[in-house]
Structure 1
Amino acid sequence: MKNFDSKSGFSSDSRTFHSLRPPVHLPPPHSPLSASHYALSLHLKSPWSDSVTALVDSASGHRVSFSEFIHSSQTLASNLQSLVRLSKGDTAFVLSPNLVKVPILYFALLSLGVVVSPANPISTPAEISHLFQLSSPAIAFSTSSTAHKLPHNLLRLGVILLDSPEFDSLMTTTTTKPAVPLVEVSQSDLAAILYSSGTTGKVKGVMLTHRNLIALAASYDATRSQRERPAVFLYTIPYFHVYGFTYSLRSVVLSETVVLMERFRMEKMLKAVDEFRVTHLAVAPPVVVAMAKGDVTDGYDLSSLEGIACGAAPLGKDAAAAFKSKFPRVVIVQGYGLTETTASICRTTGEAETIKTGTTGKLIAGVEAKIVDPDTGLAMFPGQEGELWLRGPSIAKGYVGDPEANSATFVDGWLRTGDLCYIDHQGYLYVVDRLKELIKYKGYQVAPAELENLLHSHSQIKDAAVIPYPDEEAGQVPMAFVVRQPQSSLSEADVIDFIAKQVSAYKKIRRVLFVSSIPKNAGGKILRKDLSKFALHQSISKL
């Protein structure tokens, strides 16, 4: 390896930043190993017995111990293989809210070499139909409240409801066959297809391999801290999101107790922290913002809280400072990651890093980064801004069935993130802006082009553009600029309602401004920054 600066990790020869973390020793890449089996092997390092709680349903108080979790996932895998006839290489579509059964299902499917493909349960039937085209699932696991959205005729092995006696039987009924299915899974095999909005408005299916997940699990193991008792993590994050999906592995690797909420409500979350003595929260920034405000936390005993893992979108300096002022003993751990990086690829670790504001931390072990000038393509030096490129064992295999996007995003082993960043002289990553045009609403990704296409389909709309508008609670909300057709009397409410009927709740347009034209460059590309400045100016003018 070429020499690099011991403080920033930067090599002036290759203009590449290297991780400053201690190296993580991964299993040989060609040895057969599934991500679930690797996570369970790391779980054996736990100083506690498997009688400790793995999962808690915050609503019912129902608990599952690690021994029950492991036994249920192995029994389920055996029955899915022998009774349902699921086999290696099949894809399983999962459409469910956060339930205790979901991580049990994930581990069972991964051990069989079945590709896990979870989706947002509030997706519309039309959105789900598109996801089916990407992943071609053989089976779907759903709930009685979401199953009606699925195109049943496209599923070779049908639909199994997680809230049914059938699924309970599959988890508990042992046969004469061995509990642990004998399936040889290669680390290069596909483990999951997770869905991510692309800049073109098309949802992409991100292909993650078992090796990707193994690399992430190893990085969790490398930062394992010594504790007297297991950490108690409350998940407000959904299991279908890369954040929640990878945390289902993390909790097993680190033997953490997970408290689950089926649907997020601030009051229910605070009650659960109090009731279950939660030590850590896994949240998106809007939760941190809300907790820091007013009297929302009054009346709850939050003294058990030690830390907050904040991800899925950037947390502002002011919000972090306000939270620390109110909860001085609670450590905020920030990270940076994408679906394409198998979640967190950059983290703040240890007190010295977590007290630094504005940064998402340092590169995890085994990762390299470049900051590339988007105009010249030249790699930049520490402190200079450019597009962040990443390389390492947790970088996704690519997008399913999308060669055009693959060639644009994955270049010679590097992932082009589309994010404008810089790495300082101490190796800390700072995310300045997104070159991508995604809107981050409460951690969800919303593609402006998807909403623009819908707006353009309205007979009274001549032209339209959608931008992210800053919002203290949500982070960003979709705002539409609309050019009406001549003689049209279309109102803001009409536009909002038109879109709301066609998309999931988080994609709804929240603000509308009528304009005479949409600013564009010579190539016809919308000048979104001009629109953003105009929107903020209009807002200030009204104050």
Structure 2
Amino acid sequence: MSGIIYGDQNIFLPSHGNYGRYVLDNILKFKDKVALINGASDEITTFGELAQKAVNLTSYLKEQGVKQNDVVAVCSENRTEYMVTVIAVFSSGATLACINNAYSDDEMAHSLDIAKPKYIILSPEAQEKYSKIVKSVKSIEKIIVFENKSKDADTINFDDIIKKNVDVNTYKHVDLKGGTALILYSSGTTGLAKGAKITHTNLITSAQQPLPSTRDLITIFVSPWSSTMGLICSLHEIVVGRTIAYLPRFNERQYLYAIQKYKIAILTIVPPVVVILCKSTIAKEYDISSVEIIYSGGAPLNMSVITELKSKYPHIKHVLQGYGMTEATGALTAESEDEYKEGSVGKIVTGNIMKIVDVETRKILGPGQTGEVCVKGAVQFDGYIGKDSKDEFDEDGFYKTGDIAYYDEDGYFYIVDRIKELIKYKAWQVPPSELEDLLLQHAAVKDAAVSARPDVLAGELPTAFIVKQPNANVTERDIVEFIDKKVSPWKKLRGGVIFVKEIPKTSSGKIIRRKLREMLPKLPASKL
């Protein structure tokens, strides 16, 4: 096996081209079956109810004049109304922008500036947090709030606009000829988030990729639906009629209780949650023997963690992994209970075409040879909104992922490292350059660099190397608190601050991050 690797290219694309309609056509086959369970409140929604509410919202949006290429943003914790909104916006032909409800004010403003939404739909929590920013965005015409109990005259109650029941069987959906369905935010090393444009074809193709199991098992999600893993994987499960339990955010005790109560069989989680289960001192208080499969993605999972997990929980039959990214609408490779090799991230999946190339020569490599992963195909995104993306692709149209990997003779892929300098904290992407720019704004900082401190639980911790201004009196705590006020929780300097005499750089001024990593064991940060 050598050269270019092809996933299944036999893809069903409906003539209407509308992913929202594709979802509805599928879930209406399971009308009375439970679709969503809110593990925090025990609220249950059937597939029929989900479809009805989605069509009601689609009807409202169209009555208001929302059309293809208009952007509707949603910012909320995981909740049933979020998924109703997702399906409805797709069905209307408009573009959905999913904005993380943990963003700092600056990140929120930047994300809205990229997307320029006409409407924004918020949870009460997000509405309270971002009200001033949202109202300052000129493109926004309507603000809709879930469970709206505020007295703000500028907001619309979500529950009021979905009361009108529209016939789901005869409702005329919008037929599409291409176009952006979704804007997902993907951080890069050059600054704030980039808005990746995901098409209806991308999403329909992704929905036909294999699942960890074809059996009718209940799964649970805690990854936010503003993230690629959370949203794309959840939609995939919904399309095939699988019952999903979810939590608004991760809480160990609540998570274990939900597994016990709903007899969850599949955990779809990021590696830090796997580690929490390994180290849990309270898991023994709950009966989680229903769990058979763990499907992990977002970052590579160490083999020692897999071994420890299966030893502690002998009822877990499979610990499966996948490898993906926003720019590929989710998965590039994946394992299933019928096809896996422990330690790998699986084989190439439907809609992908991949190659491994030498980082320097760009020559295509064969099995066992380590190089950069490049991908194209029906799931490849349509570039970044408002940004020239030509440098992201090679001359043959392959997206250059920046990840280093190899595949074996059987076609299983193994992630080795990455060229890109993103720090992965609990599967969140942290661009070092963004933190460096902020650090340099501090009056006492002469020069700064940020690198990753390895951590068993979180994967990597953002760690700052600081050169002080002459005679400056600044402490580690001062720097940490300065950054805390400016960034999202996952971007905080949890690896600490290390004061150095100089930042290692090349002759052209680029930071030599390899040397920073070499300095870490010699210069431990103080405890925070």
Shorter-chain TM-score range: over 0.9
Cα deviation code 1:178-236 (max 9, x no counterpart): 972442222x2110010010121231100000000010011147x762x4xx4211111
User: Matches of 1:351 and 1:224 in 2, distance apart?
Assistant: 8
Paired residues for 1:318-337 under 5 Å? 318-330=304-316, 331-337=318-324
Contact 1:207-1:397 within 8 A present in 2 as well? yes
- In structure 2, the partner of 1:276 is 262
Q: 1:387 aligns with which of 372, 380, 397?
A: 372
Structure 2 counterpart of 1:64: 45
- Using the size of structure 2 for normalisation, the TM-score is 0.93
Query: CA contact under 8 A between 1:220 and 1:250: conserved in structure 2?
Result: no
Distance 2:498 2:483 in 1: 15
Q: SS where residue 520 of structure 2 aligns?
A: helix
Return the letter of the residue paired with 2:199. Answer: T
Residue 451 and residue 540 in structure 1: after superposition, are their counterparts in 2 closer, same or farther (change >3 A)? Answer: closer
Match of 1:367 in 2: 352
Deviation at 1:500, TM superposition (A): 0.3
User: Relative to structure 1, is the Cα distance of residues 139 and 432 closer, same or farther in structure 2, using a 3 angstrom cutoff?
Assistant: same
Q: Residue type of the partner of 2:72?
A: A
Q: What is the CA-CA distance between 1:169 and the residue it aligns to?
A: 2.2
Q: Distance in 1 between matches of 2:124 and 2:170?
A: 28
In structure 2, the partner of 1:439 is 423
The amino acid across from 1:151 in the alignment is V
* Alignment of 1:190 onto 2:180: yes
CA drift at 1:505: 1.1
Task: Name the CA distance, whole Å, in 1 between partners of 2:247 and 2:368.
Answer: 41
**Residues 88-237 of structure 1 mapped to structure 2, 5 A cutoff:** 88-148=68-128, 149=130, 150-153=133-136, 154-164=138-148, 166-174=157-165, 180-186=171-177, 188-220=178-210, 225=214, 227=215, 230-237=216-223
| Amino acid in structure 2 at the alignment position of 1:318 | S
TM-superposed deviation, 1:58: 1.2
CA RMSD of aligned residues (A): 2.2
Q: In structure 1, what is the equivalent of residue 384 of structure 2?
A: 399
Unpaired segments ≥5 residues, structure 1: none
CA distance in 2, matches of 1:156, 1:539: 48
Unaligned runs of 5+ in 2: 150-156
Give the CA deviation at 1:170: 2.0
**1:412 Cα deviation from its structure 2 partner:** 3.2
Counterpart residue type for residue 291 of structure 2: L
Aligned equivalent of 1:520, options 501, 505, 517? 505
Partner residue in 1 for 2:333:
346
2:36 corresponds to which residue? 55
AA matched with 1:89: N
Q: Write out per-residue CA displacement over residues 67-91 of structure 1, whole angstroms, 9 at most, x where no aligned residue.
A: 1111111111111211x33222110
Name the CA shift for 1:255/1:34 in 2 (closer, same or farther; >3 Å): same
**1:442, distance to aligned residue in structure 2 (A):** 0.9
Q: Structure 1 residues 363 and 175, CA, compared in 2 at 3 Å: closer, same or farther?
A: closer
One-letter amino acid of the structure 2 residue matched with residue 451 of structure 1: L
Q: SS at the partner of 2:285?
A: coil
How far 1:151 sits from its partner (Å)?
A: 2.7
Question: SS at the partner of 2:74?
Answer: strand
Tell me whether 1:17 sits opposite 2:8 in the alignment: no
The CA deviation at 1:124 is: 1.9
Q: Distance in 1 between matches of 2:294 and 2:13?
A: 30
8 Å CA contact 1:385, 1:421 repeated in 2: yes
Which of 449, 453, 460 is the equivalent residue of 2:444? Answer: 460
Match of 2:363 in 1: 378
How far apart in 1 are the matches of 2:166 and 2:342?
55
Q: Is the 8 A contact 1:40 1:252 kept in 2?
A: no
Report deviation, 1:539.
4.5
- Please, which moves more after superposition, 386-395 or 125-134? 125-134
Out of 215, 230, 251, the position equivalent to 1:244 is 230
The CA distance in 1 between the partners of 2:493 and 2:393, in whole Å, is 28
Amino acid at match of 1:530: K
State how far apart, in whole Å, the 2-side matches of 1:126 and 1:539 are: 31
What is the TM-score normalised by the length of structure 1?
Answer: 0.90
Tell me if the contact between 1:348 and 1:360 (Cα under 8 Å) persists in the aligned partners.
yes
> Matches of 2:27 and 2:168 in 1, distance apart?
25
Which residue identity is paired with 2:223? I
Q: Which amino acid aligns with 1:386?
A: G
Aligned match of 2:278: 292
> Shift in Å at residue 413 of structure 1?
2.1
Shift, 1:444, TM fit: 0.9
Deviation at 1:492, TM superposition (A): 0.7
